[in-house]
Structure 1
């Protein structure tokens, strides 16, 4: 899906920039070596950014929960 028709940025371009560390629309433009023109794409970029941030938080929470649950249980060795 095209997110920015002025710069021909697809949602894959935006996702790629987000995965590379973009945290705001200007970071996405910089990563894709372009700039905002009409600005109609900014709300969609913000939406994609929010989704990515929420997804990262879910993943981090899952990892934290898994690491707590995965603590090794001490076993006694009986000889």
Structure 2
């Protein structure tokens, strides 16, 4: 699905950039060889980053409890 209309970036491209270590929106855009234009998608990008950061923490809590 296209998330960034200005740069025609898909959710998969953005998720891949985050999976490769991008932790700020500008890092995500840079990994996709572009820059934010209108900024409408920035909120979605931030959500992807937060999810990526929180998922490993949730997994660690589960392993510690088990």
Work out the number of aligned pairs and report it. Answer: 66
Of structures 1 and 2, the larger Rg is shown by: 1
Q: After the TM superposition, which parts of structure 1 deviate over 2 Å for at least 4 consecutive aligned residues?
A: 59-63
| SS of the residue 1:38 aligns to | coil
Name the residue aligned to 1:55: 55
Query: What displacement does 1:42 show?
Result: 0.3
Q: Deviations over 1:23-76 (max 9, x none)?
A: 01001011010001111110111111111111121123344x28xx6xxxxxxx
Highest RCO, 1 vs 2 (Cα 8 Å, sep ≥ 6): 2
Whichever structure has more helix as a proportion of its residues is 2
Task: Return the TM-score normalized by structure 1.
Answer: 0.74
Partners of 1:8 and 1:56 in 2: CA distance = 29
Q: Does 1:39 align with 2:6?
A: no
Q: Does 1:24 align with 2:15?
A: no
Aligned-residue CA RMSD in angstroms?
A: 1.5
